[in-house]
Structure 1
Amino acid sequence: MQRRNFVQQLALAAGTLAVPRLTSANAKVKEADLSTDKPFNLNYAIHDGMFRSHAGDDFIEQIKFAHSMGFRAIEDNGMMARPVEQQKKIGETLARLGMQMGVFVITSQNWHWKTSLTTGKQEFIDLMVKDCREAVEVAKRCGAKWMTVVPGNYERSLSHDLQTANVINALRKGAGILEPHGLVMVLEALSDNPDLFLRHTHQTYMICKAVNSPSCKFLFDMYHMQRNEGDIIKNIDRTWDETPYFQIGDNPGRNEPGTGEMNYRNIFRHIHSKGFKGVLGMEHGNARPGKEGELALIKAYRDADNFL
């Protein structure tokens, strides 16, 4: 779709697409804001597939489209599995557009679905080291700084404290590989099932302090933390000095802001007021399918980002 036609469609959507919970403030969002490519107040990162209906299946084209809508970052969990040439092409595209690369998942296997670093087994420590070394090269190709790490499942044959010690030991080894390159693993606490070891802000914060490296920090996924504990703004403050990266998703549903119970305009305002200059990953789905859903998502972000 040509940009002028898309702008006309988006302007029309501004008057017809309702966004739950933020509708009372919609009058404050000018139609010009919805049809411009001006950057947002915070740096929201799209992912592959988010704008497929407008830009097609090619992630590069989706990145270009997102840039034309004001987004200035991406994240890509599966970057390590992409061909080397594609990693380079994504990095080159981001550099040319002045966009930022967010996280990719550092682990080559789905550790969080099986017992792993919590056990202290050498096979998992070796895998951690191998993956960190590979991640250094991937980061160079795509211009990344942050990469997601999940320690794995709870090991019920060991005490919680022994598992914590095992995780800290493994993460120190990984951080030692990343630190000389200025790269940062960000630990993600999850809510997918109760067997996961890392689930809470205070737990993740403590592990980051214990690893004691600039290359081991907290990925604050607000969707998961809303499900596990709530109190989002206070917990952001409590863990602020170990949190260089956020991810977004409304609850329930794990879709764009305004589709669930979370007041993302207030959350974004708070994060912005603290001087945050990093990336906020849009790790969620589109509440509606097709082009209409993509227009609604853009409008939802313009609404939630309208906090100044």
Structure 2
Amino acid sequence: MKRREFIKTAMAAGGALTLSTSESKGEQAAKPAGKYHLRYAPRLDFLRDQLTIPQRLETFAAHGFDAIEYNGLMSHPLKEVEEIRKKMDSLGIGMGIFVANPAGWRTAGLVDPKQRDAFLEQLKQAIEYHKVIGNRQATVITGNEIPRAPRGVQRRNVIEGLKRAAELLEKTELTIVIEPLNILVDHPGYFLVHSDEAAEIMAAVNSPHVKILFDIYHQQISEGNLINNIRAYWDYIGYFQVGDVPGRKEPGTGEINWRNVFKAIYDNGYRGILGMEHGLSVPGMEGLLKCFEEYKKADTW
């Protein structure tokens, strides 16, 4: 299928575009797009091999989504990000997270104090990207454990690094969200895994600019008990991401009762963005449309 025909198919399936561009400047618009209770955000790299960035944004908007997220935003020059922002504003699309310390896996993490300066330098760069794209949250990864180092020492290193980060963020509108990840399937050796320890770290840092990214996929694998944990650590959670278990694909492909989870998040008062941090069970536009239909089903209550 030619790209033009591909886009026409996507738009026909999505219906007419009805979003108002005046309702969104960056992430600020808190109102859902109209089709959903919650603000679900497709990943900007969905269909990246088939559509340009403007075409992807148009496709998402045509299907009623008023937000995106994009882990890899900082891989683009700021001039390019300015153009992405202009297109987003023209469509009434806001921005969820991007990763603020993409080198956190090896050289810019929080666990090893030798990496702290590099972490803070990446965060300074992330603040500049935030100013251009207009989002409110950015992901921070802790990095892996230090072998044979006491757990308490590593936790203190993380807390100290986050306190330093909070100082940099005080005069901005950006909040970093620290992501626990599962070590059973995807990230063996990663430091931060469980919600309770993440909440303890948040309490110690004690900053409105430092919160938890509750990735439902990771937390289902690591601990389950999703709704109770979301409620228990609600005050420390700043952002949600979505992915079904097993397989990390769209809702409806695994074991999670998404309607109940989404309703619990909504009923607790969350009106922020939930990122589609997952793959597609079916490739291409067919898979993207299937994904969007699953969100409609899960958002019905």
Superposition TM-score, scaled by structure 1 size = 0.84
Partner of 2:205: 211
Give the counterpart of 2:132 among 134, 141, 144: 141
Q: Which residue of 2 aligns with 1:269?
A: 263
| Counterpart AA for 1:49 | D
Q: Does the 8 Å contact 1:39/1:72 carry over to 2? A: no
Moved more, 151-160 or 66-75: 151-160
Report the counterpart of residue 163 of structure 1 in structure 2: 154
> Cα offset for 1:8?
5.9
1 CA distance for matches of 2:90 and 2:11?
23
Question: 2:107–2:118: 8 Å Cα contact kept in structure 1?
Answer: no
Name the stretch that deviates more: 255-264 or 1-10: 1-10
Q: CA deviation at 1:3?
A: 7.8
Unaligned runs of 5+ in 2: 16-32
Note if 1:45 corresponds to 2:41: yes
Aligned partners of 1:119 and 1:163 also within 8 Å: yes
1:116 and 1:144 mapped to 2: Cα distance?
22
Instruction: List per-residue Cα deviations over 1:19-49 (Å, max 9, x = no partner).
Output: xxxxxxxxxxxxxxxxxx8432100111123
Task: Indicate if the aligned counterparts of 2:69 and 2:97 stay in contact, CA closer than 8 A.
Answer: yes
CA contact (8 A) 2:101 2:109 kept: no
Counterpart for residue 232 of structure 1: 226
Partner of 1:279: 273
Alignment correspondent of 1:119? 112
Tell me the secondary structure at the aligned position of residue 181 of structure 1: coil
When residues 136 and 9 of structure 1 are mapped into structure 2, their CA distance, relative to the original with a 3 A threshold, is closer
Structure with greater contact order relative to length (CA < 8 Å, sep ≥ 6): 1
Larger Rg: 1
Q: TM-score, normalised by structure 2?
A: 0.86
Residues 157 and 240 (structure 1), Cα distance of their counterparts in 2 relative to 1, 3 Å cut: same
Q: Is the 8 A contact 1:149 1:186 kept in 2?
A: yes
Matched residue SS, 2:190: coil
Tell me which residue corresponds to 1:223: 217
Number of aligned pairs?
277
Out of 285, 293, 297, the position equivalent to 1:291 is 285
- 2: distance between equivalents of 1:290 and 1:155? 40
> In the alignment, what sits opposite 1:245?
239
2:193 pairs, out of 192, 199, 210, with 199
- Name the stretch that deviates more: 136-145 or 56-65: 56-65
Query: Compared with structure 1, are the counterparts of its residues 50 and 186 closer, same or farther at alpha carbon in structure 2 (3 Å cutoff)?
Result: same
* Partner AA of 1:43 in structure 2: R
Unaligned runs of 5+ in 1: 12-36
Say whether 1:84 aligns with 2:75. no
Q: 1 or 2, which has the higher helix percentage?
A: 1
Partner of 2:142: helix, strand, or coil?
A: coil
Q: Does the residue aligned with 1:105 lie in a helix, a strand or coil?
A: coil
Shift, 1:84, TM fit:
1.4
CA separation in 2, counterparts of 1:303 and 1:108? 34
**2:10, 2:285 within 8 Å by CA — same for their partners in 1?**
no
Between the aligned partners of 1:170 and 1:244, the Cα distance in structure 2 is 18
Partner of 1:19: none
Distance (whole Å) between structure 2 residues aligned to residue 232 and residue 302 of structure 1: 21
Task: Tell me, yes or no, if the aligned pair for 1:200 and 1:225 is still in contact at 8 Å.
Answer: yes
SS at match of 2:152: helix
Q: CA RMSD in A?
A: 2.1
Residues 136-171 of structure 1, C-alpha deviations (whole Å, 9 max, x = no match) = 110011111111001111112321001000110011
Summarize the Cα distance change of 1:5–1:216 in structure 2 as closer, same or farther, 3 Å threshold: closer
Equivalent of 1:129 in 112, 120, 124? 120
